[in-house]
Amino acid sequence: MMRALIAGGLFAVLLAGCSDPHLTALNQTLESTREQADEPDALNIPELPAYRPVGYHYGAERSPFLAAAAVAQAQSTAPGASRTGKLAPDTSRVKEPLERFALQQLQLVGTLSMGKRHVALIQTPEHEVVTVREGNHMGSNHGRITRITSQAVSVSERIFTRQEGWQKREAALELSPDTPTR
């Protein structure tokens, strides 16, 4: 019982210590400041001028985002300019049947090995299966078959860009997991 009485007395002393006479003065100062504050004037936002679109008439001029060397090369390889170079494809060559299709449209459906000679079976979008070997061409980007393995056909394509001219790009057709094996 005595402990409860001492604890209650201690609690009362602590609460009395929390009341600060300066807090009353602070509250009075804040109230007077709030009363003296004027209402802010409404913001005067100036009227915006009407939007007038400006046309860009320099599309045929030099690109400001290309270096001078790239601009000179782009102008030399512009449409109508000569598309020759070390990587340029042979345009006099007779096109092979699989060059009518983009590489993404073709599907590898099988491979055959006869000693060191490898042959791949390629299915066209028209569901025709064509036999190819290393050195044959396929795809619309002047692709040439460089390697045939049991699971894939590697193709080296030649892409023409105005900025860089003819570039080589490696691609591959792989057997899909759902292709039945026999």
* Residue 157 located in a structural domain: yes
* Residue 154 located in a structural domain: yes
* Residue 53 located in a structural domain: no
DSSP-derived secondary structure for 107-126? EEEEEEEETTEEEEEEE-TT
Q: What pLDDT sits at residue 173? A: 93
Q: What is the CATH number of the domain that holds 169?
A: 2.30.30.830
Residues 125-141 as b or e (16 or more Cβ within 10 Å = b): eeeeebebeeebbbbeb
* Residue 71 located in a structural domain: no
Q: Which two tokens stand for residue 62?
A: 């030099």
Q: What pLDDT sits at residue 171? A: 93
Q: Find the angle CA(83)-CA(96)-CA(122) to the nearest 5 degrees.
A: 120
Q: Which domain holds residue 150?
A: 98-182
* Number of domains within the chain: 1
* Residue 117 located in a structural domain: yes
* Residue 92 located in a structural domain: no
Q: What pLDDT sits at residue 13? A: 65
CA distance 96 to 144: 11
* Residue 14 located in a structural domain: no
pTM of the model: 0.53
Read off the DSSP letter of residue 98.
Answer: G
* Residue 84 located in a structural domain: no
CB 166 within 8 A of CB 90: no
Tens-digit pLDDT profile for residues 59-114: 777 667 766 665 565 555 545 444 667 778 888 889 999 999 999 999 999 999 88
